Chain A
Amino acid sequence: MNVMNMERNGLNNKSTFSAVSEFIAKNKIGFLLIIVLYSALFILEKMMPPSSMLFVVLKKGAIYALVAVSMNLLNGFTGLFSLGQAGFMLIGSYTYAIFTIPVEDRAAVYQYFDGGIIRFTVPVFIALIMAGVAAGIFAFFIGLPVLRLKSDYLAIATLGFAEIIRAIFQWNKLGPITNGSNLLKKFPSFSSVLFPFTVAGISIALIVLLINSSYGRAFKAIRDDEIAAEAMGINLAKHKLLSFVISSFFAGVGGALLAMYQTTVQASAFKAAMTYEILLIVVIGGVGSITGSVISSFLFIACSEWWLRFLDSETYIGSFKVPLLASGFRKVVFSVVIMVIVLFYNQGIMGTREFSSEGIARFFSRIASRNRKEGA
């Protein structure tokens, strides 16, 4: 991206400021809601035991929300069907872990590789950005050849890339950096739910700003009709690459958060199944809806980690053993639920609409007017 383009499409300083204040004024209720949400989280943490499942769901949900939104930027807003998300998350989580393991712990972590070759650490905040940048750099070089492909072929190529990355990171020769197929651990993690919420919140806000900018409009134009977009002078290759790199950047940040959440990292966990999970979240939430992705990722994590857990344990009512409830049944029910959603709600929860404060107001005024009509 050259500087002239940035100046042209981005706003200059003065108008950025007025745009921001205008944006805040326009979204007063939204900002209020955000403040309420964060205070509620803060109070919840003071009141409830930290082992509560609620916090597992909130932490993992926030991380998945970020990754789902980043995937939606690519699949839903730019129309590029990519399945490389797990690969970029892997790059992000490894980058984070490698650069934040305290120097004194490296000997123990890299016990088979003489303590590794990297002998310094960087602060958490910088490591998070490095995680995104590393994923973005990989995306740039992969995107150059791969983004020439269309639809299914692009999906296959990116899926293949993710698998190759997973294999490479487990390669013994890279052990001094990646610790081979062994765990990376002892890097800083978070305990408060506010941390993933803040990082994911800021990242998602940035993605929303991008989508509402003229670049975002160009992405949507490419999604709607490539030929027409090209005829309008939109450089397809450049914009697709931009979207791919930015999406991967945030997937990398999401991967780093996931590493922090899990407290250990192992490449073998970043399977294609992880990408499918995220794709499901995007589809359930609505392809092309940011809020849809966020809502559905919390629902998805809550179901898979918490609400449907009881299906996995054998249950007796008196002496009667409830049939079917056994380890693994949760996944069966879950698959059925997903099938129902895809068959009957194929637009997802939100379609391409967004959840907004004006939307809520409209919803209630609609109900109110309906009630009035029925009353009359």
Chain B
Amino acid sequence: MLKITDLKVNYGGIEAVKGISFEVPEKSIVTLIGANGAGKSTTLRTICGLVKPAGGKVEFMGEDITGKDPTSIVSRGITLVPEGRKIFPNLTVLENLKIGAYLRNDDISEDLKWVYDLFPRLKEREWQLGGTLSGGEQQMLAVGRALMSRPKLMMMDEPSLGLAPLIVSNIFEIIKEVNRLGVTILLIEQNANMALQTADIGYVMETGRITLSGSGQDLMNNPDVKAAYLGT
């Protein structure tokens, strides 16, 4: 579904991504794990068009989308749940969700109902300002907002960041649930344990390169990964 070939990105004067290639098959959960500064976020930001690549190719459903602007990429069905959630604090929950569907011109009431079914808590807080939600609720809102664009591929940047362990496992349950509903997921995480347990395919990224790949289970059993990311 998504195919990255030899992607190179310069970010802030350094070569943050040094030629990576990977694939995200349809209806799968793929995770990219790695330490801070490995280039994971930059990769996601490049795929959705927020950053222009220096070289390489991004293909989505067989179409070359390298270097296109975010508007056209989002309208093709790719959405990003940004790092740190980045919900709109002065907009109500409902307005936040409507912004998620900004590029759609059809009826969104079905999707709104779907998101509220997925996150009943958001329904309760419909008229509250986004900034007044708790961290976990904000993450739900960020996911809900992304789903409102009716994405084919949802990319998530560190959804567990700064959340309590219980909420984190909750979020991963939601990720699986969303995936079951047919949305392909590309997940980047520092919480390698949770991410690899959830993912069908995992890639390990180090200083701008992919150093390891395999099924989530394989990577969990890999001694290098264990030592470096799982701490066991």
Contact = CB atoms under 8 A, between A and B. Distances in A.
B90 A220 contact: yes
For chain A, what secondary structure do more than half of its interface residues adopt (helix, strand, loop), or is it mixed? helix
A37 interface: no
Interface stretch (B17-25, B96-104, B186-194): B96-104
Contacts of B82: 227-228, 231
A228 B90 contact: no
What range describes how many residues of A lie at the interface? 20 to 34
B91 A220 contact: yes
B177 interface: no
Interface string A215-242: 0011011011101111111110000000
B23 to A, nearest CB: 23
Given A214-B102, A224-B88, A224-B89, A231 B95 contact: no
A234 B105 CA distance: 14
A321 interface: no
B210 to A, nearest CB: 24
A232 B74 contact: yes
Nearest to B69: A235
Interface residues of B, number: 26
Contacts of B86: 225, 227-228, 231
Given A220-B88, A227-B82, A227-B86, A232 B145 contact: yes
A372 interface: no
Interface string B86-122: 1111110001001110110100000000000000000
Interface string B63-99: 0000001110111000110100011111100010011
Contacts of B80: 231
A347 to B, nearest CB: 13
Nearest to A222: B88
A8 interface: yes
B102 A232 contact: yes
Interface of A: 7-9, 214, 217-218, 220-221, 223-225, 227-235, 288, 352
Q: Nearest 6 CB-CB pairs, A to B? A: A233-B74, A228-B86, A8-B105, A224-B88, A233-B103, A231-B80
